[in-house]
Copies of this chain bind each other. A is one copy, B any other.
Amino acid sequence: MKILIFCAHPDDEVIGMGGTIRKFADAGAQIRLVHFSAGNEGYSSAAEKSEICAIRARETAEVCRILGIAEYVNLQQKDWSIEVDHSTCRTVIAQIREFRPDAVFTHRHADYHDHMNVHQTVTEGWFHAPLACAMEDAPVWRPVPLYEFEVITLFPQPELIVDITAVMAIKLKAMAVYASQTGVVGGAIQMLEGRALLRGQSIGVRHGEALIRSAMRPRAIADIQALVNS
């Protein structure tokens, strides 16, 4: 089982699906995390500016260790300038085809600018990865599910809730590692606690994380049993 995660900045993966990542790791999955930006605008004091990317890289390395992420890529784009263009789209296709994941995860559209653009670029790349194009990058990969997680804007009606009760403490521990972001986004731990309680309650467990499955490519139902068991 191989899992590929695209997000804009270091910490989005913990906020959106830190518990889910750790559950995948516990289930033996091979996990790759791709950050579009090194987080160049995420400093808390002018003094920190020149070091912030290095600081966040160290934090990310520790978070990967905690969550069980074996492979990490940073696309080195700049905050507020993440582009939806040919080159980034090709990069997403290449990542998918080279890693050959069983599922892909990224931002939902309804969020702020950088998250919207990552959403759109990843969706384009994911849609084209199983089509005959961009073929010199790597062999065409099969269609796999694309899931979207919530970071800032709440989903009004999420369709999937992952039970993360057993790994909630680890999610919070990972978030705490991103200490450089505490001064930037206030109350991150509180937000994670509140959201996990709320999402968990909707399925009758203590802590949960919400996902929506992209419907851009519909899912084929060959065996009718799938409608009942899923």
List chain A positions with a Cβ less than 8 A from chain B: 1, 3, 20, 23-24, 26-27, 29, 41-46, 49, 78-81, 84-87, 89-90, 102-103, 110, 112-113, 120, 124, 127-128, 131-136, 144-145, 147, 153-163, 183-187, 190-191, 193-206, 208, 210-211, 213, 215-222, 224-228, 230
Contacts and interface: CB of A to CB of B under 8 A. Distances in A.
18 contacts: A41-B133, A45-B132, A80-B90, A112-B124, A113-B124, A131-B184, A145-B228, A153-B157, A154-B154, A157-B215, A159-B215, A160-B218, A161-B219, A161-B220, A191-B198, A191-B201, A191-B202, A203-B219
B132 A44 contact: yes
Given A135-B45, A193-B197, A218 B158 contact: yes
In the complex, which of the residues A3, A45, A215 has the most CB atoms of chain B within 10 Å of its own CB atom?
A: A215
A220 B206 CA distance: 12
Given A29-B224, A45-B132, A154-B198, 19 more contacts: A41-B133, A46-B135, A80-B85, A147-B227, A159-B215, A159-B219, A161-B220, A162-B221, A163-B222, A187-B204, A190-B206, A191-B201, A194-B195, A194-B201, A195-B198, A202-B218, A204-B220, A208-B220, A211-B227
Contacts of A154: 154-156, 198
Contacts of A29: 224
A43 B186 contact: no
B187 A133 contact: no
A224 B183 contact: no
A134 B41 contact: yes
Contacts of A200: 187, 190, 194
A191 B197 contact: yes
A224 B46 CA distance: 36
A108 to B, nearest CB: 11
B218 A203 contact: yes
In the complex, which of the residues A42, A185, A190 has the most CB atoms of chain B within 10 Å of its own CB atom?
A: A190
A163 B161 CA distance: 27
Q: Which 7 A-B pairs have the closest CB atoms?
A: A194-B197, A194-B198, A203-B220, A81-B86, A159-B215, A187-B201, A44-B132
